[in-house]
Structure formats: C-alpha cells, structure tokens
Chain A
Amino acid sequence: MSGLTQGSIYALIGLGFTIIYSVTQIINFAQGEFVMLGGMLSYILAVKSGLPIPLAILIAILIAAIVGALMYILAIRTARRASVISLIIITIGFAIFIRGIAGNQFGVNAVSPAAFTSGHSIQLGSLDAYIAPQALWIIGITFLVTIALYLFLSHTMVGKALRACAVNPGAARLVGINTKAMALIAFTIAAAIGGIGGVAIAPLTMASYGMGVMLGLKGFVAASIGGFMSPTTTVVGGIMLGIVESLAVGLDWGPFTSAYKDVIALVVLLLILLIRSGKLATAERAG
C-alpha cells in the first residue's frame, strides 16, 4: 500500500512537470522546490505563526503558486527564445536559489507538520496491512486533483486554450490565444499543484529544505513514463513507479539494501529514456 501512497506523491509532482512541458516545451527542474515550499510553509505558518491549519495550508499553496508565477515572469519570460540548454540551466538556477532561501529562512532541519486528521492507522479490511490516515489523504487528494485538472482542461475556456498551446503553439497564437499568458497560467497551476503535494506529503514523510531534488526527479520519472501527454498518463506513471519502488525495497538480494530504492527510480528513468529515444531514433532517421 505504501507503493500506492508513494506513487500518488510522484504522480502529483509529475502532473506539474506535464503541465508546464506540454504548454511550453520546458522541463521545469524547479518543480520539486514547489513541493518543498508547500510542505515547509504549511509547517512554518501553522506552528511558528500559530495560524489555524486549514488557513496555513491555503496560504502555503498560494505562496507556492505565486512563486511559480514569479519564476515564469522573472526568469523564463525575460530569457526570450533562449536555447534549451540555457533554459535548463535557468530553471536549475532558480531551483537552487529557492532552495537556498528556504534553507536560509527555515533552517536545515526536517520538520513534521501535523497530519490532517489525527488517529491511528486504519486496518485495511482483514489484511494484515495498515495504512496511516494521512496516506489516505494523499491518495484522495491526488485523485481529486487529477479529476479537477481533467475537468479544467476539458471543460473550461482556459483549459482548452492550454491544450491548444500544448498541441500547437503557433496555431494557438494564430487563433488569438495569448501563449505567454497561457504559459504563465501553466507555471502557476503547476506550482500550486506542487504546493498541494508538499502540503499533503509533509505530515507523512517530513519536510526539509533539500527534499526537492529527489522528489523532483521522481516526479519527472512519473511524467516521462506517462509521456508528458496528459494528466491521466502521468498519474498512471507515478503509481507504477511507486509500486515498482516498494516492490524493489522488499527484495533484498545480494548487496542491494533498501537504501538503493532511490536508485531504482533513477534506473527506471534511464530505461524509459532509452526506450523512448529508441522509438524516436528508428522512426525518422536512418542508421
């Protein structure tokens, strides 16, 4: 079951990658940092500033969204028509910039916000498995966010405009869609989703200023499994990754201990990339 929970986490983060990539063709290496912001801020606001938890959560997500918007406006837009390699470095620069500020303001220790609902682990039916209530929250929230996103993309004007940009930015511009505004919206939504993810995860897995790197990477893996195409494929990818990881942790063969579980995600990533590159290569080019 923890595979499903972990998978939901990765799915949420992966959604952020998918949204930004499909609308702007940019891989946002700073996606993990939005998650970190959500988690850290919800703790800071609730515990240090004494705000009621729901309000703290809301403000944390809002701040994450604003940071996402700022990232687009200040870093991406000003670098108009930069090359892919420049954009990669810029997003990484932003990521470590945010991480540095977080480390500066919040300290380096991990924090553990209170769970959404208190209570002991719930027993799943008659199986000898327990699941923490927070984990249920995580899975549930992922589910809700995915549905909300799906509805948003298919039924609202803005959502459809976003999809238009994803399919063909040139054509979208021709029919009057402001691609720059769409990109801004994409970044904001992705950051908000990241923030939501962080807020939900932190009570379960603790938050620290450095959590963004690994989570971001795994979210990227989830999104690549899904092909960066749509929310549903990303979520499927995330859950698959989570399950594979938890299975691998169970296997304790040879010198590989559970510390290698992070490596699993990376190996999966490399395999996926190789498979995709194979498809790309043989489709068009010769040799």
Chain B
Amino acid sequence: MMPGWVKSKWRYFVVAALMIFLVLLPFKWFLGQYTSIMIFIGISTMITVGLCLLMGYTGQVSLGQAAYYGLGAYFSAVLSKTYGWNPWLAMVIAAIATGSFAYIIGYPIFRLRGNYLAMATLGIGLIMWVLFNQLSQYTGGPDGMSGIPYLSIGGFAFDTNFKRYFLVWFFCLAILFLSQNIVRSRTGRALRAIHGNEAAAQSLGINVTQFKVKIFVLSSVYASLAGSLFAHHLRHVSPQSFDFLASVKLVVMAVIGGLASVWGAIFGAGTTRLLSDKLLLGFNQFPQLDIIIYGLILMLVMIFTPEGLFIALKSGIKWLQLNWRHLPEIMRTQGKELPHRIKDRLTRLVPARWWRKAEP
C-alpha cells in the first residue's frame, strides 16, 4: 500500500530529481569517479527488484537468487564468446532459458511451505554454483572465463564505463517502471492479495500457485538480464560472484530496500554496495567484517522492521510529518518511561523462576 505522500506532487519532484541526478552522474565534473560503482548498483538493483517482488508480494523467500544471475551471465558469456553469437541475441536467449528453467522448477517448488521452499531455493542455488564450477569445458571452471565481447549497436560499442553506465541504467529504470506498472495493476492487486491472505485470494478466483510461479519467473528473468549485462561489463565471469554469499547479499539488499517496495530496491542495492565497499576496506584489520555486518543487518532489520528498512523509513517520515508538532512532548513522556521499559524487557528475557526469591 502506498503511503499518502507518495501520491502527491512530491512524487514527481523526487522522481525528476532522481533522473537528473542519474543522467549527470557519470560526468567527470559531477561524480564521474563513481561511475563504476553505479553500474554495479544498477545491475544489483535489477535483481533486487525481482527479489523484492517475490519476497514482498508473495511472502516467499529465495535464498538462491544468485543462481539466475549466474545463469544469465554464463549463458551470455558462453554464447557470445565461445560460439560467437550476437551478444544481444545471447542475452535474450539467456533470459528465455533462465525463465523457462524457473518455470519448470517453479510449480513443484511453490507447492512447498515456507521453510521447505527456502531450503529448496538454497539447494538450487548451491547446485547451480557447483555446476558453474564443475562444467569446466563450458564455463571455464573455478577460474571462470574471460574475453567476453562488448555489447554493441551497429558500429557503436559499449566499450567504456561511461557508455555502459547509460546502458545499464536504461535497463534498470525500464525494469523499475515496468514493475511499478505491474504492482499498480490487477496483477499487482492479486499479488498483494496473496500476500495479505492466501485463502481469501484463492476464494476470489486467483490461482495462487500460478501467480507465485509467474513472479518467480519474472524475478529470474530480471536476474538473468542483470547477469548478462554484468558479463558484458566486466568481460569476465567466475563462480565466486554467484555463490551463497552473493545470494545472501541480494537478500540483504532486498531487506534494506523494503520487501514490497519497487523503488526501494535502488536504496537497498545502493546502500548495500556502498556498505560492502567500506567493509571490504576494513578487511585487513578486521577480517570477515562484511559477513558479520550482513548477518547483523538481516537479524536487526527483520526483527524490528520486517517489512523492510526503506518502507519503515518512509512510514517514519510520514509519522514525523504528521506529528512533528508533538515531538518535544512525546520525547518527554517516552523519556520518563524508557528506563522502566528497558528494565521490563531485560527481566522478561530471563525466565521468572530464576530470580524469584525462595518459594514455599
């Protein structure tokens, strides 16, 4: 559901500002040094949107999303380099192949309940990763493959970061707009209905399983396109980019971005990427810091704001908009209560028996 302010004129202003920012970014005189990072953020956003739709609107978890990312990347890589196909054609074929795969495994998988579904997605993700490593005659094994050609239109090749930035963000924004349209439509309503109350959704003629599979296929196609763009950007793919940790990072992005939010995906992907860069810098002093922080983020966000961080922030801003006048008063009354609340929470953590005095 859209909070009130989104529908107002604010929205157009924010979107316009965002567009201007994005268009100007790669120029040297603006923020050109971030072009490379922004390309990755754009690619990640594409996958995150799919994941957000899947997790937020159907309440299903995918712990192996990186597998479809990898499928897209490898299909593109193999078809365009080893077999010399047109990279655009390769990208389309990759998307069709990934989508078909998701469709085939989708029906059996989505008959499973939550926990089992999560495990199944995890299992598939791992199987894919093992395959990427093992099928070395096609994939180049653990070292991956290089020399992937650039994408090009006619004589114009996307051979610089600058050019690829616009390519990636064109795709990314297109996907965001398409997803937004889907969410606001009859299909989106059906998805939200499934999330709200599956039994009721079914009673209104919504084929729940079919929708879940459709969204799953959609999210895998998004991931595949992102993978293809990734392959043509880095010109090298290897299995490390598509392991369990990659899937976890995608879940972190989705969780920060808001599980049922389309535009929040940019926020999620952006903050996660920037965060991961900072964390990797601190690696020397504090190894494995990145996964420690990811673990903390996942736990804290899901415990306190299960609808996703971005959505919670939006609600928080809206609350502030309505209540900013009362803020001093609220802080005073809450401040008085706070020590009591903390004490109450702490004592409730430990079973009462343990600190109660001796009983008769």
Contact = CB atoms under 8 A, between A and B. Distances in A.
If over half of B's interface residues share one DSSP class (helix, strand or loop), that class is named, otherwise mixed; here it is: helix
A88 B296 contact: no
Nearest to A91: B299
B148 to A, nearest CB: 24
B288 interface: yes
A277 B126 contact: no
Interface in B36-69: 55, 59-61, 63
A27 B123 CA distance: 15
Interface string A203-215: 0000001000110
B8 to A, nearest CB: 31
A136 interface: no
Contacts of A104: 286-289, 292
Question: Which one of A90, A255, A278 has the highest number of Cβ atoms from chain B below 10 Å of its Cβ?
Answer: A90
Interface stretch (B23-31, B112-120, B316-324): B112-120
If over half of A's interface residues share one DSSP class (helix, strand or loop), that class is named, otherwise mixed; here it is: helix
Contacts of A99: 288, 291, 295
Question: Which one of A85, A87, A98 has the highest number of Cβ atoms from chain B below 10 Å of its Cβ?
Answer: A85
A277 B111 contact: yes
Given A96-B294, A273-B119, A263 B299 contact: no
A181 interface: yes
Interface stretch (A75-83, A123-131, A152-160): A75-83
A269 interface: yes
Interface residues of A, number: 60
B124 interface: yes
Interface string A128-155: 0000000000000000000000000000
B302 A82 contact: yes
A79 B301 CA distance: 10
A181 B295 contact: no
B105 to A, nearest CB: 8
B130 interface: yes
Contacts of B231: none
A21 B115 CA distance: 10
A27 B119 contact: yes
A173 interface: no
A181 to B, nearest CB: 5
Interface in B89-115: 108-109, 111-115
Contacts of B351: 178, 180-181, 184
Interface in A50-77: 73, 75, 77
